[in-house]
A and B are shown apart, each in its own frame.
Chain A
Amino acid sequence: MQPRTTKTKKINKTVKVDELPRVEGEGSLYLNIVANEVKEVKLKIYEPPRFFEGLLRGRKYSEAPDITSRICGICPVAYQMSSVHAMESIFGVKVEGQLRELRRLIYCGEWIESHSLHVYLLHAPDFLGYPDAIRMAGDHGPAVLRGLRLKKLGNRIMEILGGREVHPINVRVGGFYRVPRKQELEPLKEELKWAIDASLETVRLTAGFDFPDFKQDYEFVALRHPSEYPLNEGRLVSNKGLDIPAGEWENHFIEEQVEHSNALHGLRKDGSTYFVGPNARYSLNFDRLTPLAQQAAREAGLEAVCCNAFQSPVIRAVELVYACQEALRIIEGYEPPEKPTVDYTVRAGVGSGCTEAPRGILYHRYRLNERGEIMDARIVPPTAQNLPRMEEDLREFAPGHMDEKLDLLTLHCEQLVRNYDPCISCATHFLKVDIQRS
């Protein structure tokens, strides 16, 4: 070890990852340190935009869940839920009772599938010291198998409720096209009981990871409901005083286009960053978790609020416990409703839906004409809302780590990005195009 000198070493480093691995979608990371200062941080999102808000225009309201679900292969249910809630708010209907429970159930399926995949295949390799899940699987076979079995269960729930694993086809405005018979859900019970234990194992596994001590003064934003851990419904709240009906999202948040990203950046109206997803949900809704999930969190060393984004795998594992318990509760109490859908009358209007995708709040807003055709649409995915916060985290994190060897600093930066489980495919669905002709 070299003796410390009285003169501070001037550090110049550039962290460059051209294709971020183990994130959903295509993006790159650029962080430039000059003379001990972070000069530039860019999450360059180059995955091409797909203009969903444009192609929804002129389509029928009923097509929104099916079209928007194509934005993402990992969280299609979230898109379906936000869109059907938006349309139902325009028509003035509420889906209650068993149909509401079935919606929570299919959403639990998606959380289980998404969180288990992220924790085991995308994030655990960082903490266990492997470059990828394949090499990790050689030494940690039982853990990876547990993750795959959890993912399979989540997919199975989505298949039974939704008719298909990827882009379920059974979700519609008003409810479902078909509801399951009690016997169709029975076989899930035993597997869910196993899954609750497997999720608790997942909490224990992630609790043992080495977390960089990196706490920030985040503004967490999530739904909050009078009695439930939030999935489909609630007011939009933050830990800094926000408490609004979710439909007023556009009065308090903006999306900004930045040059280096095909995804928009979500910000508060005053330009500050915010944080959506498991850390936010958990920190704003700890008291709504089941006692078992709360206990698991405490035993893992978590408090009711978690300001260290690196601990996100533990939070996802706690949400896995919750989702498995909630799914079992719904199935045990299930009685098929008389009709698979509630009646409604199509009318013109503007309405929004905001639901908790695995990665955070997903906001949809539509304007319909009197024939129920979509005049315009706005879709704000969670990852776009987290992008500026991710860049700010990198900016805050780098100074304390700049004398690490470049390889290690790069890994830490990638790991930080993976804390957010970003879905770049979702984030790039929209780009505003400005054409100037001289």
Chain B
Amino acid sequence: MKVLVIGTGNEQCGDDAIGPLVARRVQALHLPGVEVHAGDFDPLSLIDLWKDAGAVILIDAMSSGRAPGTIERFEAHARALPSGPFPARHASTHSMGVPEAIELSRALRQLPGRFIVYGVEGRNFSPGSPLSPEVDPAMDRVVEQLLADLGRP
């Protein structure tokens, strides 16, 4: 059963780097049986990437007006992810957001049996900005929680 950890976001855009940075921290642990992907993924390619996986943990930056560094854990099989905190990158439907990709995957009956999303609140998403200092400790906490999800100490 393939286990995927996917961190998605644009590393050039401030706190949008959260997803790929968390994924790289997981990658550095070299967990056996876990396939890690870090990048700025087009949600339609994500659907294709995870379709044969048994379990997916996806990490993405959130923008919901809460304190930067706030972590929220979502179980995609419990309910649909809210769109608000995870806006599509552009206003076109050629690139949907993560919540829409999950719903499309679900509608196509391809959503992996276990699907967890970690959202980490960012503050600044402008191109060229550095990572906000508040998010760094949050990223470590996500890695800890994610390891617990995977049943690893």
Q: Is the A/B pair a real complex? A: yes
Is there contact, CB below 8 Å, between B104 and A133?
Answer: yes
**What residues of A have a CB within 8 angstroms of the CB of B90 in the complex?**
25, 73, 425
Interface size class, chain B:
10 to 19
The answer to the question of B64 belonging to the interface, with a C-beta cut-off of 8 Å to chain A, is no
Whole-angstrom distance between the Cβ of A305 and the nearest chain B Cβ: 30
Contact string, B85-110, partner A, CB cutoff 8 A, digits 1/0? 00000111111000010011001110
Question: Please, which residues of chain B bring their CB within 8 A of the CB of A122?
Answer: 93-94
Q: Which residues from A are CB-within-8-Å of B108? A: 137, 141, 144-145
Sort chain A's interface into a size bin. 20 to 34
The reply to whether B94 and A141 form a contact with Cβ atoms under 8 Å apart is no
B104 contacts A137, C-beta separation under 8 Å: yes
Give the segment of A16-24, A234-242, A245-253 that binds chain B.
A16-24
Cα separation A26 to B94 with both chains bound (whole Å): 12
**Any chain B CB within 8 A of the CB of A408?**
no
Q: Select from chain B the residue with minimum beta-carbon distance to A122.
A: B93
Partner of A74, one of B45, B48, B94, B107: B94
Report yes or no: B104 in contact with A134, Cβ–Cβ below 8 A. Answer: yes
Write the chain A residue with the least CB distance to B91: A26
Main secondary structure on A side of the interface with B: helix
Please report the C-alpha to C-alpha distance between residue A121 and residue B94 in the assembled complex, in whole angstroms.
8
Q: Which residues of A contact B48 (CB under 8 A)?
A: 148, 152
Answer whether residue B138 sits at the interface, using C-beta atoms and an 8 A cutoff: no
Q: What residues of chain A lie closer than 8 Å to B47, measured between beta carbons?
A: 148
Query: In the complex, which of the residues A22, A138, A166, A424 contacts B93, with contact meaning CB atoms closer than 8 Å?
Result: A22
CA distance A141 to B103 in the complex (A): 13
State how many angstroms separate the Cβ of A224 from the closest Cβ of chain B: 29
Beyond the given A22-B93, A23-B92, A121-B93, please list 8 additional residue pairs across the A-B interface where CB-CB is below 8 A: A24-B92, A122-B93, A133-B104, A137-B107, A141-B109, A144-B108, A155-B45, A165-B45
Using CB atoms and an 8 Å cutoff, list the residues of chain B in contact with chain A.
42, 44-45, 47-48, 90-95, 100, 103-104, 107-109
